[in-house]
Amino acid sequence: MSHIPLSFLSFAAAILADTSRGLSGSEVVKAFNAYAVEYNINIPHAAYPFEAPNKRTALLENLKCFPPPLQFKIIRELCDHRTFSNKQYDELKPLKVKLVSQFAHLAPKDEFSKLNETLTEETRHWLDSFPNALELYLQAIHKYKHGIFSRNLLDDLRLSLELLLKSVFKNDKSLENQLGNVGSFVSEAGGSKEFSNMFSKLIDYYAKYQNTYIKHDDAVVEEEIEFVFEISSSFMRHIIRLHAKSPSI
């Protein structure tokens, strides 16, 4: 689909300009005036009070003036508007997830978040033989690149690593219960005692971190996501390398 249907635009406008929890009329005007100036687009509601029955209608009519890629960008950015930072507004995150899951192809190509692309591409390559783990890893990349920083992203990474270990060790244990296997696995594959201890201890801390944050969505620290993503990738890449080197371990 090369456009965002009017039904979705209306749905987004109703959430973003909700009567009690959404953007105010003046905030709608201020935000859209900035976009209109930046992209040289005329909008019908550039002053407040505006000639519209309500702010939801004003937001929708302004939004309709932009091409689909900019509609995607505007909705995504308005979901992160500072007015929502101190509000409990549960509808915003599902809106952003729906936007990305249905219309990610419209995202401006130069606006993706900057993960370590070499590391993630290598990890994707190594995970080709572990499709269940790969599927969750790709979901995490998708969410990260589109700014969906949530416990679901962390959960995808954790479960991806957990599924990889289950496949390598041929068991059905949780991540926390694989620590002994991890240490032995690294040692038997030629790792030093110090490295084996460090590797298993890092996964121990990783599991504890994940257990804390996947249960408390609001507590996720966005600045930490990139690090967690990259250390998850490093764990998986190293485990698969060792497994490929010594598949019988």
Condensed to tens digits (0 to 9), the pLDDT of residues 193-234 reads 999 999 999 999 999 988 887 666 556 677 788 888 999 999
> How large is the average pLDDT for residues 59-73?
95
Average pLDDT over all residues of the chain: 87
Top-confidence range, 58-67, 148-157, 176-185:
58-67
Tell me, what's the pLDDT at 38?
93
pTM of the model: 0.60
Q: Is the pLDDT of residue 87 over 70?
A: yes
The string of DSSP letters for 159-228 reads HHHHHHHHHHHTS---GGGGHHHHHHHHHHTT--HHHHHHHHHHHHHHHHHHHHHTT-GGG--HHHHHHH
